[in-house]
């Protein structure tokens, strides 16, 4: 199936990349107001969803290299948002958990994400927003984008 150039002059791939970069940048603005980088915010969410996971597991889920996790964990730990202690069953592993402050910040992060979606989709009706979401889910599934994070976010 050949896809002609859309009348708008911009291809769907380009629009998607442009809007995606915009959404990521706006999200970065909002997390920065909470004192987090987007990557730190992503790791915080992941630990909230999977308490006790190892740094290696976090690296795999995020699609990052283990050495990158070290700096992120350091930053979150220094701010008192997570704890890192050795596993008793395998002393090579570090188990990551949220602190109370981490849980609290995670809650605020969820509000931020909700605000972000509302702002992004303000030009659409509720029905159109649902349609868009469903189409994007189909694309993400088709391209097997099952990671919890991605480059640039």
Long-range contacts, 133-139 (Cβ 8 Å, 24+)? none
- Binding-site string for a copy of itself from residue 21 to residue 40, where x marks contact by CB under 8 A and - marks none: xxxxxxx-------------
Asked if residues 39 and 74 have their Cβ atoms less than 8 Å apart, the reply is no
Q: What is the Cα gyration radius of the chain?
A: 18
CA 5 to chain centre: 32
Exactly one of 7, 92, 134, 142 binds DNA (CB under 7 A); that residue is: 92
Closest distance of CB 96 from a copy of itself, Å: 21
Residue 66 contact among a copy of itself, DNA, none, beta carbon within 5 to 8 Å by kind: DNA
Residue 44 contact among DNA, a copy of itself, none, beta carbon within 5 to 8 Å by kind: none
């Amino acid at each position: 199936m050949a896809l002609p150039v859309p009348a708008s002059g911009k291809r769907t791939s380009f629009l998607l990349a442009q809007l995606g970069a915009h959404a990521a940048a706006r999200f970065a603005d909002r997390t920065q107001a909470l004192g987090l980088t987007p990557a730190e915010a992503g790791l915080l969410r992941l630990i909230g969803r999977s308490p006790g996971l190892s740094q290696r597991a976090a690296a795999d889920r995020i699609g990052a290299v283990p050495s990158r996790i070290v700096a992120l964990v350091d930053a979150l730990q220094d701010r008192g948002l997570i704890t890192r202690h050795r596993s008793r069953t395998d002393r090579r592993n570090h188990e990551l958990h949220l602190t109370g402050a981490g849980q609290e910040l995670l809650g605020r992060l969820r509000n931020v994400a909700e605000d972000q979606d509302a702002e992004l989709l303000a030009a659409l009706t509720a029905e159109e927003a649902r349609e868009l979401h469903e189409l994007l889910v189909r694309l993400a599934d088709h391209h097997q984008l099952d990671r919890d994070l991605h480059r640039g976010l």
